[in-house]
C-alpha cells in the first residue's frame, strides 16, 4: 500500500527523539540533536518543521543483503558521492562528486547511517544559502531506540524500519515534521 504521508512528531521526554507515523504503523525515530525548528539554519543541529517531498533514495549496494525497491527514484551510492553543505558554494544543498573544492559531506560512510537514505525536498526549490542542507531520512545511530543519538538535522530510523517503508513510498509521498 502506497503511503501519502509520513508524519514525524517529537517525543515528550527528549527533544532529539520522536515517532514517525506511516499509515497504522508507528516507528521510533531520532531527530536533530537540538530538537525541531521552524526557521532552519545551516549547522543548527535542528530538524526543520514542514512538509517535504521525497526526492531520491540513495543506497549502499555493497552493504545490503537483499535488493530494495521503492517508486521513489533510486541511486546506488558511489565512493565519490558527496553533498555540498557550504552555503557559499553554487552547489549548496546538491549532490557533488568528491573530492570537491568546497565543503561537502561524504555519502559513502564506514558506519551504517547512509546505507539507505531518502533525500527530503527541504531548501531545494529554490535553494537558499544557509537555510539547511543534506536533510535526509536515514539510518539511526544505534539499534535501540532508547539509545538513539540526535542527528545533525535529519530524521533517522532503525535500518529495518526504513527498509520496510521503502516499498510503500512514492514521489507523491511527503514527510511532514510537526511540533506537538
The enclosing domain of 148 has a CATH number of: 2.40.440.10
Q: What is the pLDDT of residue 145?
A: 87
Residue 136, class by beta-carbon neighbours within 10 Å (0-12 exposed, 13-18 middle, 19+ buried)?
buried
Q: Say how many domains are in the chain.
A: 1
Residue 11 cell numbers, joined: 517525543
What pLDDT shows up at residue 144? 85
Pairing relation of β-strands 25-30 and 36-37? unpaired
CB atoms within 10 A of CB 160: 11
Does the active-site annotation cover 29? no
CA separation for the pair 116, 24 (Å, rounded):
23
> Which pLDDT score is estimated for 12?
78
Q: Which of 17, 25, 11 is closest to 169 using CA atoms? A: 25
> Which of helix, strand or coil describes residue 33?
coil
Q: What range does the domain containing 117 cover?
A: 5-177
Check if the beta carbon of residue 119 is closer than 8 Å to that of residue 136. yes
| 126 class by beta-carbon count within 10 Å (0-12 exposed, 13-18 middle, 19+ buried) | exposed
Q: Given the residues 16, 29, 138, 161, select the one marked as catalytic.
A: 138
Active site residue 138: yes
Mean pLDDT per 10-residue run, the chain (180 residues)?
A: 96 91 97 97 98 97 87 96 98 98 98 97 98 98 88 97 97 95
Amino acid at each position: 500500500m502506497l503511503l501519502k504521508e509520513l508524519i514525524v512528531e517529537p517525543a515528550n521526554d527528549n527533544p532529539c527523539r520522536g515517532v514517525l507515523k506511516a499509515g497504522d504503523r508507528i516507528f521510533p525515530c531520532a531527530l536533530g540533536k537540538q530538537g525541531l525548528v521552524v526557521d532552519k539554519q545551516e549547522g543548527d543541529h535542528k530538524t526543520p518543521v514542514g512538509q517535504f517531498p521525497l526526492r531520491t533514495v540513495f543506497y549502499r549496494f555493497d552493504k545490503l543483503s537483499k535488493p530494495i525497491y521503492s517508486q521513489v527514484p533510486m541511486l546506488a551510492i558511489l565512493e565519490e558521492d558527496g553533498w555540498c553543505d557550504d552555503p557559499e558554494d553554487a552547489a549548496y544543498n546538491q549532490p557533488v562528486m568528491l573530492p570537491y573544492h568546497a565543503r561537502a559531506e561524504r555519502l559513502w560512510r564506514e558506519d551504517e547511517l547512509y546505507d539507505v537514505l531518502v533525500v527530503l525536498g527541504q531548501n531545494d526549490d529554490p535553494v537558499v544559502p544557509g537555510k539547511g542542507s543534506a536533510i535526509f531520512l536515514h539510518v539511526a545511530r544505534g539499534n535501540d531506540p532508547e539509545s538513539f543519538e540526535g542527528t545533525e538535522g535529519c530524521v533517522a530510523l532503525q535500518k529495518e524500519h526504513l527498509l520496510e517503508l521503502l516499498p510503500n513510498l512514492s514521489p507523491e509521498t511527503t514527510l511532514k515534521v510537526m511540533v506537538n
